[in-house]
Amino acid sequence: TELSQTKLIRVSTKSQNTISLVTYPNPAANEIRVTIPANWQRKKMVYEVISMNGQAVMRSESASSSQTEALNVTNLAPGVYFVRVNCEGQTAQQKIIKQ
């Protein structure tokens, strides 16, 4: 047997490239507003609402997104969901509560 060198790996709890969404109001009754990072504006976006069991219950696309988009959640059953936004291979998500 042969042993290799010891390597140092640093794991940080803070990522320098953290992408975050802002969703409001939360909890929501009829509509959720999703604010995306400024550098995602005017790009193609895919908005998804994901149930707790991992199924996409709602999906919408925007060819040129503004900073804040409104999603109608009136038809969703009350519960906990995730709003997931994809932009050019990057993904961000936020937990929401539907009343």
Instruction: Please compute the mean of the pLDDT values over residues 26-48 and round it to a whole number.
Output: 91
d(C-alpha 85, C-alpha 15), whole Å = 19
Model confidence at 28: pLDDT above 90: yes
As a whole number of angstroms, the distance between CA 80 and CA 82 comes to: 7
Q: Looking at residue 65, what is its pLDDT?
A: 83
pLDDT value at residue 41: 87
Three-state SS at 5: coil
| CA–CA distance, 7 with 67 (Å, rounded to integer) | 43
pTM (2 d.p.): 0.77
Spatial strand order in the sheet of 31-35: 22-24, 31-35, 68-72
Confidence of residue 95 (pLDDT cuts 50, 70, 90): very high
